[in-house]
Structure 1
Amino acid sequence: MKKQLLVAVSLCAGFIASAMADSRVTIHYPGQSQALVLQGAANLEQLTLRPELNGRTWWPGTVIAERTASGIQQQTQQQTQQQLLARLSAFSAALRGDNDGELAGSVDRVRTQLAAMRVTGRQFVPLDPDWIRLHAEANRRLSGEYSVYTLSRPTSVQVVGVTTPAGPQPYQPGRDVAEYLQTHQRLSGAEKNVVWVIQPDGKTEKVPVAYWNHRHVEVAPGSIIYVGFSSWSLPRAYRDVNEQIVSLLTHRIPD
């Protein structure tokens, strides 16, 4: 009887552990409104090797976001986006009140770009199955609900911020950051000496691009080059606007 009880307890414990390790992952494919739901992946290695993902996405830019019962991770980033948009609106209004319509127009342009973005509570973890297989510490355990946003290998680099025109530029191997900006015009209040680069995996870097400090930096396809506001154009109350924008860009859902 004791033996049977021990076996039953062991099986129950195994079942509970298995259930705790279970995950539910919603896969979003580009250009498709219908998402696919996967269940049972206990860790990232198991997830990334599933045929619904492996070979069907470009790993460097694939985004995974953790979801709670209330969707708090998603909501947090969307709220951050809305708060930033409201802040930029207030900044623009203050500038117009000071009769600085030119700089206000720059702020409005950046706000419009950010308003068109989709964001999520991105988890900054490597998803390439080869990397995960070779680095055990990267094989994160999965438990609960997640969303994964897939993409095809990009063919462009996005140029955004205090510049015109804003939008995609064809990706060219070997081309450096400054070269992507040659056909763009800085708007009023733009930083001219450095820009921010957001790589597809969410890593960021400040890159010198002026003639006197230029450093050759190449970017991966799918990267974002953000031309920020110069320090002299930002009043004390808005000194952290560039950092807020860059942080939001790291949580962007790929197109």
Structure 2
Amino acid sequence: MIYRFLLLFIVVSCSLTLQANPVVRVQFNDVFLDYAQQPRLSDLVAGVNTSANLYWPSASFYSLSSTEIHSLEQKKAKLLQRLTELHNYYAQHGDEGLAATTKKIVLELTPLQLAKKIVLPLDPDTVRIKTSLNPLIDAGQYLLVVAEKPATVALFGAVENSSTLLLNASEAADYLSDLKLLEGASASFLYVVPANADPFIAKVGLWNREFKAIPAGATLFVPLELRHLPSEFEDINQQILDLLVHKVVAP
């Protein structure tokens, strides 16, 4: 009798421990989806695909690994230090406009919430049909962001605006007419950071213009013109871009 009681106690205790410590936990809005074993990606997205209004092309998926977040925060701290040094360089050389632009980027970057973005196809129909696009999700904690189709495009960098309206059937250069670029901003190219794809360059100058569609949910990063950067800061735009890829997008 005592043996049977102890066995039952162990089984119940293990069950409660499993529930308290799921193998995979996914945060979606204010809801947590817990999995006792590794789910397929299709199981995960199907679990939240409860509305026809969800726009999956602009969805984002992040790992909430504390180690990865700590690494990103360290990179941000080092970048903020370098941007502050660049600001001081401009100020010491009397370039007030460039100093103000750099200061704006510092203030914009400081509160940025970061998490490791995982680029995977997230559309429920796509991952359900194609086995090769339906991997097991590794153990850990994640954040899934998906909402209705965004009406605006986020802006970052050497531009006064923080967002602008999403233009249908338009290219990157079409956005420039409604933007107020700051001193030192590049007028020849932008970086485009899609919600769930690798970033790319959009050429927007009069001499190099090419068609690049802007996907819904993207962030446009207006970089500093290379000719305005001292040689020791020539990689600053790339460093900013590397962090923007992992910016947590609000639903």
Following TM superposition, by how much is the alpha carbon of 1:216 offset from its aligned partner in structure 2, in angstroms? Answer: 2.4
Following TM superposition, by how much is the alpha carbon of 1:23 offset from its aligned partner in structure 2, in angstroms? Answer: 3.0
Q: Distance in 2 between matches of 1:79 and 1:37?
A: 29
Letter in 2 for 1:101: E
Following TM superposition, by how much is the alpha carbon of 1:67 offset from its aligned partner in structure 2, in angstroms? Answer: 4.1
Q: Which residue is 1:12 aligned to?
A: none
Q: Which moved more, 1:52-61 or 1:180-189?
A: 52-61
Q: Distance in 2 between matches of 1:47 and 1:23?
A: 13
Q: 2:60 touches 2:195 (CA, 8 Å); kept in 1?
A: no
Following TM superposition, by how much is the alpha carbon of 1:225 offset from its aligned partner in structure 2, in angstroms? Answer: 1.3
**Structure 2 matches for 1:1-255, cutoff 5 A?**
23-29=23-29, 34-40=30-36, 41-50=38-47, 52-55=48-51, 57-68=54-65, 71-152=66-147, 153-164=149-160, 166-255=161-250
Tell me the TM-score normalised to structure 1 length: 0.81
How has the CA–CA distance of structure 1 residues 58 and 148 changed in structure 2, closer, same or farther, with 3 Å as cutoff?
farther
Q: Distance in 1 between matches of 2:155 and 2:42?
A: 33
The percent identity for this pair of structures is 19
Following TM superposition, by how much is the alpha carbon of 1:242 offset from its aligned partner in structure 2, in angstroms? Answer: 0.8
How has the CA–CA distance of structure 1 residues 35 and 79 changed in structure 2, closer, same or farther, with 3 Å as cutoff?
farther
Q: Distance in 2 between matches of 1:106 and 1:233?
A: 12
Following TM superposition, by how much is the alpha carbon of 1:170 offset from its aligned partner in structure 2, in angstroms? Answer: 1.3
Q: Distance in 1 between matches of 2:229 and 2:210?
A: 25
How has the CA–CA distance of structure 1 residues 59 and 81 changed in structure 2, closer, same or farther, with 3 Å as cutoff?
farther
Q: Which residue is 1:16 aligned to?
A: none
Deviation string 1:198-240 (CA, Å, 9 cap, x unpaired) is 1121421111111222222221221111111111111121111
Following TM superposition, by how much is the alpha carbon of 1:35 offset from its aligned partner in structure 2, in angstroms? Answer: 4.2
Q: Which runs of 5+ in 1 are unaligned?
A: 1-18
Q: Which runs of 5+ in 2 are unaligned?
A: 1-17
Following TM superposition, by how much is the alpha carbon of 1:159 offset from its aligned partner in structure 2, in angstroms? Answer: 2.3
Following TM superposition, by how much is the alpha carbon of 1:172 offset from its aligned partner in structure 2, in angstroms? Answer: 2.2
Q: 1:102 touches 1:188 (CA, 8 Å); kept in 2?
A: yes
Letter in 1 for 2:69: Q
Deviation string 1:98-142 (CA, Å, 9 cap, x unpaired) is 222221111111122222321101112222222212332222212
Tell me the TM-score normalised to structure 2 length: 0.82
How has the CA–CA distance of structure 1 residues 28 and 49 changed in structure 2, closer, same or farther, with 3 Å as cutoff?
closer
Following TM superposition, by how much is the alpha carbon of 1:54 offset from its aligned partner in structure 2, in angstroms? Answer: 4.8
